Structure 1
Amino acid sequence: MFYRLLKYVIPSFIGTYILWYLMKPEWLNQFCIICFLLIISWTIGYYFYDLFEQKTIDSMMNKIILITGCDTGFGNRLAYRLDRMGFHVYAGVLFPLGDDVQQLQQKCSNRLKIMRMDVTKPEEVNNVVEQIKQSGMPLWALVNNAGIGISVPFDWGNDIDVYRKVFDVNIFGVVRVTKSCMPLLRRSRGRIINVASAAGRMPAQWMGHYCMTKHNVRIFSDILRRELIGTGIKVITIEPSFFRTQIVNFDLIDKQRAKIFNETPDDIRQSYGGEKYLKCMNASNQLIMNITHDGIDQVIQAMINGIIRKYPKIYYRCCTNMELFTIWAASHLPEILLDSFTHIYNDRLYRQFKIGKYSD
């Protein structure tokens, strides 16, 4: 992949350098100009690489794709798309009799297999992997899509129960399934697709548990990619921004918050101002709603590219250009500025709250 990318970077750099030379901006330091042009050339080269390197794997027949978290959302839609493309899809779900799962089964061919698979339970993971072994077909790709999100302050809940619940699915589940599938993936020299999130790069208040896990998914992907160099296995990370799936179902979020609030020790609840703070948090859902995308096809196509392209990207960042710039800027701004922006937003919420807008 690196050498193919250079194939576009080098001509881009030469062309850009010649253009600069003809302009002869003598008032700028030549070293700085060369560094600047190199960055521009690399960006242009990567664009052309992405534009023209569209080669796909030779065959999609008789290859198994294992996807976790197919009850709804990304996993459900991806299973459908891959089945239409001719793959044998093993769709891991929590509720095999759920409405969305049953609809998926009806829409797909008999190549699709619905499998009860709670990623927090080793016996269920091992059962699915064993059935893949018995099929006699290669496991071409593992898509670690299963994940949950909880939006509450860091000290709400009983002890570390909230952290344990989120980490069990979003981190330990990813590691467990990946380890179980490694012998098969080494044999097929296949793919590992890990679904992280833009939240793993841009921490947000009340989402600490989720942001921590998604940051860890990204780090886990980087470690895997480097440790697996030479095996032929490619590791791809998907980083969506906010898309309208069950993880941003605000009715469920509000019920979940209320449940965790009731499990929180009374002294902690009172330190936040009691139930009025809970109402204030629920009122902030509008902010997330405003930046949530309805269509999920961008994310699904990124997953498919990671599975079928001969030279997939290391990262697929599924968001608008403005969101991409915002995430990049937020990750490079001084923390004192980010803290100030958060304080301004909080102050506005609390001021509205104190004048009774969200009170009984």
Structure 2
Amino acid sequence: MTRVAIVTGASQGIGLAISKRFLEHGVSVIAVARSHETLTKLQETLVAKYGQSAFIPCTADVTKPEDIDSINQCLEQNGLELCALVNNAGVLKPLAKIADLNIDQWRQHFEVNVTSVVALTQKLMPALRKNKGCVVNISSGAASHAYHGWSAYCASKAALNMVTESLATEEPDVVALAIRPGVVDTGMQTIIRDSGEEAMHPAEHTKFKELHTTGGLLPPEKPAHTIVKLALRAPKEISGKFYSWDSPEIAKYVK
């Protein structure tokens, strides 16, 4: 049976880099994203390189229960063996202080960054248990360091880390990891530079702008390499942990 990984937020940035890396390892990908047009274009390109069944687009909004069902149906209909789930979809905007953030916007952060992860992981748990699969949750340094104006993002990523630890405690046949991908050159960094000045502390905003101008942002392929290696070979003894993509503690698993 063909192995498959499910990757959310797969149409761009880190999610796309992760999807390509899985394909390079001979693992098919169910690529989940909201943009049908973008996924279709990617399918045309990647199928030509990796084969007809390698890249399976699944247009879905992970916050909608019916779309969670569709992702699971995509797995079952294609008769694939789920080896990994990478929960990469996430939101940073809007940036605002706790005192200023609309409570519905706060809820939306948690809906995307936490609740959708739980919902999709729940739905796929039978397959993950059966295949002794791995769940990789894409976290952030903001999970353990507060940034001015990032309250909802920081809190939701901290919650995601505890979801990861809880999964590891509860599921003996599944490995669960939370990974900090570093400061990566993606659309999220563009949001910080273009929309963050008003909400963020000036020194923090300047730091992110300088990382861009000095070439200090990571290409998404670097953390993607680590994430895919861990998804395919991480042992149970490191399950539940929160690691940076370049942590020495995981170096031996990602060579």
TM-score by length of 1: 0.60
Q: Structure 1: which amino acid aligns with 2:232? A: I
Partners in 2 of 1:75 and 1:280 — Cα distance? 26
Q: Does residue 154 of structure 1 match 2:154?
A: no
The structural deviation recorded for 1:283 is: 8.6
* Other-structure match for 1:127: 70
Partners in 1 of 2:244 and 2:148 — Cα distance? 22
* Other-structure match for 1:138: 81
CA contact under 8 A between 1:89 and 1:113: conserved in structure 2?
yes
1:127-172 C-alpha deviation (Å, 9 max, x unpaired): 11012112222111111110010222112244x0220121110011
The structural deviation recorded for 1:86 is: 1.4
CA contact under 8 A between 1:117 and 1:125: conserved in structure 2?
yes
1:242-295 C-alpha deviation (Å, 9 max, x unpaired): 2111111137852xx7xxxxxxxxxxxxxxxxxxx9398689632223345232
Taking the TM superposition and a 5 Å limit, the aligned residue runs for 1:284-323 are 285-291=205-211, 293-309=217-233, 311=235, 313-314=238-239, 315-318=242-245
Taking the TM superposition and a 5 Å limit, the aligned residue runs for 1:63-82 are 63-82=3-22
Partners in 2 of 1:310 and 1:284 — Cα distance? 34
Taking the TM superposition and a 5 Å limit, the aligned residue runs for 1:170-189 are 170-189=113-132
Q: Structure 2: which amino acid aligns with 1:172? A: T
* Other-structure match for 1:245: 186
CA contact under 8 A between 2:133 and 2:174: conserved in structure 1?
yes
CA contact under 8 A between 1:238 and 1:302: conserved in structure 2?
no
Taking the TM superposition and a 5 Å limit, the aligned residue runs for 1:185-264 are 185-229=128-172, 232-250=173-191, 253-254=194-195
Partners in 1 of 2:7 and 2:199 — Cα distance? 37
Change over 3 Å in CA distance of 1:306–1:320 after alignment to 2: closer
Q: Which has the larger radius of gyration?
A: 1
**Aligned-pair RMSD on alpha carbons?**
2.5
- Structure 1 SS opposite 2:36: coil
Q: Does residue 107 of structure 1 match 2:31?
A: no
The structural deviation recorded for 1:241 is: 2.7
Larger relative helix fraction: 1
Q: Structure 2: which amino acid aligns with 1:237? A: A
CA contact under 8 A between 1:240 and 1:299: conserved in structure 2?
yes
- Of 245-254 and 199-208, deviating more is 245-254
* Other-structure match for 1:4: none
The structural deviation recorded for 1:219 is: 0.6
Partners in 2 of 1:64 and 1:138 — Cα distance? 6
Partners in 2 of 1:279 and 1:131 — Cα distance? 40
Larger relative strand fraction: 2
Change over 3 Å in CA distance of 1:318–1:62 after alignment to 2: same
Change over 3 Å in CA distance of 1:283–1:200 after alignment to 2: closer
CA contact under 8 A between 2:84 and 2:128: conserved in structure 1?
yes
Change over 3 Å in CA distance of 1:84–1:318 after alignment to 2: closer
Partners in 1 of 2:132 and 2:56 — Cα distance? 23
The structural deviation recorded for 1:80 is: 1.3
CA contact under 8 A between 1:196 and 1:218: conserved in structure 2?
yes
TM-score by length of 2: 0.83
Change over 3 Å in CA distance of 1:206–1:185 after alignment to 2: same
CA contact under 8 A between 2:43 and 2:57: conserved in structure 1?
no
- Structure 2 SS opposite 1:249: helix
CA contact under 8 A between 1:302 and 1:316: conserved in structure 2?
no
- Residue identity over aligned pairs, in percent, reads 23
- Structure 2 SS opposite 1:238: strand
Change over 3 Å in CA distance of 1:223–1:138 after alignment to 2: same
- Structure 1 SS opposite 2:177: strand
The structural deviation recorded for 1:214 is: 0.6
CA contact under 8 A between 2:30 and 2:58: conserved in structure 1?
yes
CA contact under 8 A between 2:192 and 2:205: conserved in structure 1?
no
Give ranges in structure 2 of 5+ residues lacking alignment: 249-255
The structural deviation recorded for 1:89 is: 0.5
